[in-house]
Structure 1
Amino acid sequence: MRLLAIETSTDTLSVAVGGGAQGDAPWQHTGPGAAQASATLLPVVQSLLAQAGWALRELDALVFARGPGSFTGLRTACAVAQGLAYGAQGAGCEGGVPVLPVDTLLALAEEARHQRALAGLEPPRVIAALLDARMDEMYVALYACGPLGLDPVPLQPPRLCAPADLGEWLQQGLPQALTPGDCLLAGNVFPSYGAQFSDLAGERQTALPTAAALLRLAPALLAAGQAVAAHEALPLYVRDKVAQTTAERERLRREQLVRLSASVSAVTPLDA
């Protein structure tokens, strides 16, 4: 199988070309993303395809992380995937190359699982994928994990969650026999929000969604019929608002100060 994977939903640009099979060593690139992704993505794609010796029309699928994540990054990945798919049609690939949209949080969870496997650690029973959504919120999704990998159907689908509400969200989404201690918390939220759920049990693991993770997920998703035509490949935003009013920013600032004051009071005697 010949696959091209694109991940631009965070501040890191990740692109990979490979077969997605277990043990496959893909050609890959990692670099600055965000605003730079739109300028560097196509040259990186061309370079990796050249290294693999593959023509665009020879690809079996174009895989991209559809979101949630950075609005600009998601639109960039979607537009490039659609453009390349249609471009292959012009190069003699009838109907164009199929496009496979994959949830960003599924790719994040897969990357965390893969890191643990490389380290020789047992897979967790459940992975909570946590991606910084800024504005004092996280994108979250919950996935079951077994010895053979992740179940791509989430126990809890992607949504927005306030850091302070993470424990309640986990209790609602975990299977009845499991507790938060059975869940691996994986993502990039810990420096910004970790203090707000420091009382939660369960391991923490820093991870980001990667194009290599998309490649590993792609064969099973393609076999399940998840590929679409280029015009049907759309971003998954989850949040439909990217800016706060002055009043909303002030309210969040006050709430953060109240939480900080409560945290300090909890560890400092009143008569100290």
Structure 2
Amino acid sequence: MSSPPDLSPVAPSVGQRFLAIESSTDTLSVALGSGAVGDSVWTHTGPGAAQASTTLLPQVGALLNQAGWPLETLDAVVFARGPGSFTGLRTACAVAQGLAYGTQALGRAGGLPVLPVDTLLALAEEARFTVQQAGRTPPQGIVALLDARMGELYVAVYANRAEGLQELAPARLCAPQDLLAYVDACLEPLNKMGSPGGLLDSQVIDVLWAGNAFSAYPALLAGRSVAPLTLLPTAAALLRLAPGLLASGAAVAAQDALPLYVRDKVAQTTAEREQLRAAAAPV
């Protein structure tokens, strides 16, 4: 089993250039920049999912033109590999691969490096940055949640340390009713003192819940005194992560950049749908 990537913050090298693509949700996010906070960032946000397949490449070209950066001068292409929308993940991966391969004809031997980044890591980074920009106390833990549809959630848990985000539990599917107990178990290492009222009710640990699942599941955090942060993963978050990931050796060749689906099945057969309807019917 490969070790998790080093997520420690790294100051971008002077002149570094990254293209970031995030299309894991219903929103397409594209960004171009160095990854350094305060540097110029060229961004596009628009409809994602199936529409991303027709708009992504033109928007990438438009951002490169705005920045005046030829494609072959980029240091890497960064994309959110999942979990998320199957169509969105395949689109982002295919475009990242195509752009990386395409630079071979422009003089980049071997093509551009590609940085596949977990979608929920990008979400956690966006949450961390949002809190920081608001001048609030940084949370000790971040629970990143996305609505996975079909009555399930995508969840990953991170510790927010001075040296960067540390993955406590990788992305997985979770039923809403199992979420709190699962997150409590993931966060237990962060709370050595314990709490009779549950880890997330303890004053010892400050946890930020972030994502887009709270409107879909209004009772998700019932009984917990927490204020969730509703947001999505962004390409700008991928840019901020890119320098550290590139420095840690997380880049791969285009052919090795693959989506992370987590869920292998997205549709039910007719028989399965009939079974579910029969089970739900009143006796």
Same fold (TM over 0.5): yes
Residues 194-235 of structure 1: CA distance to partner in whole angstroms, max 9, x if unpaired? 313322343310010000000000100111100000000000
When residues 18 and 172 of structure 1 are mapped into structure 2, their CA distance, relative to the original with a 3 A threshold, is: same
Q: Which amino acid is the alignment partner of residue 124 of structure 1? A: P
How many Å separate the matches in 2 of 1:240 and 1:172? Answer: 25
Deviates more, 1:100-109 or 1:241-250: 241-250
Q: Which residue of 1 aligns with 2:185?
A: 172
Q: What is the 5 A alignment of 1:198-213?
A: 198-213=222-237
3-state SS in 1 of match to 2:219:
helix
The DSSP-based 3-state class of the residue aligned with 1:194 is coil
The range that moved more, 89-98 or 227-236, is: 89-98
1:25 to 17, 40, 48: 40
Which residue number corresponds to residue 207 of structure 2?
Answer: 183
Matched-pair contact (CA < 8 Å) for 1:164–1:197:
no
Do the aligned partners of 2:214 and 2:220 also contact (CA within 8 Å) in 1? Answer: no
Which residue of structure 1 aligns with residue 239 of structure 2?
Answer: 215
Whether 1:100 aligns to 2:115 is yes
The code of the aligned residue for 1:164 comes to: Q
Partner of 2:5 in structure 1? Answer: none
Distance in 2, matches of 1:223 and 1:39, equals 32
Residue 236 of structure 1 aligns with which residue?
Answer: 260
- Cα shift at 1:32: 0.8
How far has the Cα of 1:146 moved from its partner? 2.8
Q: Following the alignment from structure 1 to structure 2, what is the Cα–Cα distance between the partners of residues 228 and 248?
A: 44
SS of 1:134's equivalent?
coil
Partner of 2:51: 36
Q: TM-score, normalised by structure 2?
A: 0.85
2:104 counterpart of 1:77? no
How does the TM-score come out when normalised to structure 1?
Answer: 0.89
In structure 1, the residue matched to 2:106 is 91
1:76 partner letter: T
Q: Quote the sequence identity (%).
A: 63
The gaps in structure 1 that reach 5 residues or longer are 258-272
2:153 pairs with 110, 131, 138, which one?
Answer: 138
* Aligned pairs, number: 253
The residue number in structure 2 matching 1:261 is: none
1:149 Cα offset (Å): 4.1
Unaligned segments of structure 2, at least 5 residues: 1-15, 192-198
Using the TM superposition, give the Cα deviation of residue 176 of structure 1 relative to its aligned residue in structure 2, in angstroms: 3.3
Higher RCO, Cα 8 Å, sep 6+: 2
